[in-house]
Amino acid sequence: MAKEPTSGEPQREPKRQAAARTPATPAPSDNPRDRIIDALMALAGERAWDDFGIADVAERAGVSLGTFREHFVSKGAVIAAFSRRIDRIVLDGTGSDLIDEPAKERLFDVLMRRIDALEPYRYGLEGISDWARGHAAAAAALNRVVVNSMRFMLAAAGIDTEGAVGALKIQGLALAWGRVLNAWFRDHDTGLARTMATLDRELIRGERLVERAEDLHRLTSPLRALARAMLDSRRGFRERVRERWRRSEDDEVDEEPRRRPRRSR
């Protein structure tokens, strides 16, 4: 018997019912690379990830396996290419209209535009996300793809990503983005109220964590400088010892020809 939803628990719509409100898929492209990407995302929304292979993707895209191989080495490589395509759409649409807004607002705008670009592929992304949750290696590979995208999303929002704190921002945003997508998968309201509320909450949380990390980074700066100085000093000492050792060996070699064997009487 089906489980009755508890009070306040969001009810997930069946895909067949929700699909009626999904925007039309992108128009077919003459570019085989784009057709392969679109075909894989469509199949990922219709079947479990392990239930279709590269031959199925090639057939759906209307290309040969040879053409698939020319552009991609695996289904995972197609996902990475899809992510770069979405990156390009968001980055090309980034203007300077929010330049005077706080960093959080700029990033919120960038990520909501990313959601808009992803809308035609909602169910494909949901299928990929469901598959990755049960496969640690797949989750790690997808995390690398998301990290690369989030680096550019932060840059588009004018947020620095260099150094140790920058790396924390990127990885933290990648994890937060996963939670935002999970909310979006279940948000069929045209205004995306749940998605925006989740994104706002995640950005506030991330902002606080980054502030703490930056404070810690400043506090430990003298210790890091001291550690670097000590390390440089030890390196210099080792180099001086090696140099003296080399010189002593060279001196012994130079003196060797001067030593003559005694003549026997």
**Does residue 4 belong to any structural domain of this protein?**
no
**Does residue 16 belong to any structural domain of this protein?**
no
- The answer to whether 20 and 38 are in contact (CB under 8 A) is no
Each residue of 139-158: pLDDT tens digit? 999 999 999 999 999 999 99
Residue 77 is part of which domain span?
A: 23-95+107-219
**Does residue 245 belong to any structural domain of this protein?**
no
CA angle 90, 59, 129 (to 5 degrees): 45
Q: Which residues lie below 8 Å from residue 158, measured CB to CB, with a gap of 6+?
A: 99, 103, 106
pTM for this predicted structure: 0.71
Each residue of 40-78: pLDDT tens digit? 999 999 999 999 999 999 999 999 999 999 999 999 999
Beta strands in the chain (DSSP E): none
**Does residue 155 belong to any structural domain of this protein?**
yes
Residues of the chain with pLDDT under 50: 1-24, 217, 223-224
Single-letter amino acid, residue 159: I
**Does residue 15 belong to any structural domain of this protein?**
no
- Give me the pLDDT at residue 22, please: 44
**Does residue 141 belong to any structural domain of this protein?**
yes
C-alpha 193/C-alpha 206 separation (Å) is: 20
Give me the CATH number covering residue 172. Answer: 1.10.357.10
Q: How many domains does the chain have?
A: 1
